[in-house]
Copies of this chain bind each other. A is one copy, B any other.
Amino acid sequence: MTGRPTSPGTAQNLLADQREAVAAAWDLIRRAQRLLLVAHINPDGDTIGSALGLAWALRALGKECTVACAGPMPAYLGFLPGYADFRSEVSGRYDLILGIDFSSPDRMGAVYQPAVFAHTPLVNIDHHRTNTRFGTLNIVEMETASTAEIVFALLQAWGLPITPAIALCLLTGIFTDTQGFRTPSTTPQSLGVAIQLLEAGASLPTLVEAVYNRKSPQTLRLWGQALSDFRSFPGPAGNVVWASVTQDMLRRNNVAEDEVQGLVSFLRGTVGTAVAVLFVESPDGKVKVEFRSAPAVDVSGIAFRLGGGGHRNAAGCTLPGPLAAVEERVLAAVRQELEK
């Protein structure tokens, strides 16, 4: 712990209540040589960006860092330095596991091997409200918009320099988890950390181009078809709007499954919408369900009860098909939740 002063507008208050945990985590890291950093299944920009940002900072200290994610890795994060290093399986022993951006151990998927890791200390670094505090140490800040902000505060607290590569990884975490500073969870602190990451060399145009401006022409057509054909029903807090992307639509347009990223937020953007739901059929017949909601409506509970997770206004789950049955089951759950 360097205890060096942080500049105003930073994450200075972020870990104020957790000084002991922050110091204890540093102690574990200091003594470890082989570290495993784990991102969650169905990874997003925050888990991948935060894990990479932390890995680069620790590698600069001479630590051996393995980044792992049970996958599937989304192509739109391919611009992040170190993206290609993620492994979907790990072997061997580690001195320390760092769990990045998830609320329970099952979110590590096949990466976590209980028999091998039973005695390996694990630091749980997360911002989800549903966090079960499963770590040896838990650094959980539920009021923070992204785990990347917590990682930034940790690097500051530990006195580790923020290179341009680290800054880009962490800014991607903040930017994606706040949907580009648009979610109600976005705080002045989120913007304050973003400023410091820009000043540390992260390029906002690089990030925006990579994350937002990468739809293929075929994807535009697919979006066009899905938007022309969305459906809705009224609820007490506003409309429930939903659309489905079938394997047939994806194949016909030659579009990869993760290209629909963003479509559900777009549906949510219709006036009077309380909840938007997007159903995406996977090649294996499972259906990925994404929820987005108006600020006043909480969808994290629905997703959690259906075996998924997420945040108040953005959550998701994956269910066995067929599509029609999933639509019926999920929409009934949404209706029930809204009528509570």
- Tell me whether A13 is interfacial, beta carbon within 8 Å: no
Question: How large, as a class, is the contact surface on chain A?
Answer: 35 or more
Contact A227 B216 (CB under 8 A): no
Contacts of A209 in B (CB 8 A): 294-295
Could you say which of B9, B221, B227, B267 contacts A221, with CB atoms under 8 Å apart?
Answer: B227
- Tell me whether A186 is interfacial, beta carbon within 8 Å: yes
User: How many copies of this chain does the complex contain?
Assistant: 2
- Tell me whether A225 is interfacial, beta carbon within 8 Å: yes
Contacts of A271 in B (CB 8 A): 213-216
A241 CB → nearest B CB, Å:
8
- Tell me whether A182 is interfacial, beta carbon within 8 Å: yes
- Tell me whether A172 is interfacial, beta carbon within 8 Å: no
Contact A270 B215 (CB under 8 A): yes
The residue in A208, A229, A268 that gathers the most chain B C-beta atoms within 10 A of its C-beta is: A208
How far is it, in angstroms, between the C-alpha of A195 and the C-alpha of B221 when the chains are bound?
38
How far is it, in angstroms, between the C-alpha of A221 and the C-alpha of B226 when the chains are bound?
9
Could you say which of B181, B223, B225 contacts A181, with CB atoms under 8 Å apart?
Answer: B181
Q: A188-B198, A205-B184, A213-B268 are in contact. Are A227 and B230 (CB under 8 A)?
A: no
A325 CB → nearest B CB, Å:
26
Contact B220 A227 (CB under 8 A): yes
Contacts of A223 in B (CB 8 A): 224, 227
How far is it, in angstroms, between the C-alpha of A208 and the C-alpha of B7 when the chains are bound?
29
Chain A contacts with B in 145-186, Cβ cutoff 8 A:
180-184, 186
How far is it, in angstroms, between the C-alpha of A232 and the C-alpha of B221 when the chains are bound?
13
Offer 8 A-B interface pairs, CB within 8 angstroms, sorted by A.
Answer: A7-B8, A182-B204, A187-B198, A213-B269, A213-B271, A215-B271, A221-B228, A224-B228
Q: A205-B295, A270-B217 are in contact. Are A195 and B9 (CB under 8 A)?
A: yes
How far is it, in angstroms, between the C-alpha of A9 and the C-alpha of B295 when the chains are bound?
29
A73 CB → nearest B CB, Å:
18
- Tell me whether A134 is interfacial, beta carbon within 8 Å: no
How far is it, in angstroms, between the C-alpha of A187 and the C-alpha of B267 when the chains are bound?
30
Contacts of A204 in B (CB 8 A): 181-182, 184, 186
Contacts of A188 in B (CB 8 A): 195, 198-199
Smallest CB-CB separation from A9: which chain B residue?
B9
The residue in A192, A228, A232 that gathers the most chain B C-beta atoms within 10 A of its C-beta is: A228
Q: A213-B268, A216-B271 are in contact. Are A182 and B184 (CB under 8 A)?
A: no
Contacts of A187 in B (CB 8 A): 198
Other A-B pairs, 7, CB within 8 Å; known A217-B241, A224-B229: A184-B204, A188-B195, A191-B195, A212-B269, A213-B268, A214-B269, A224-B224
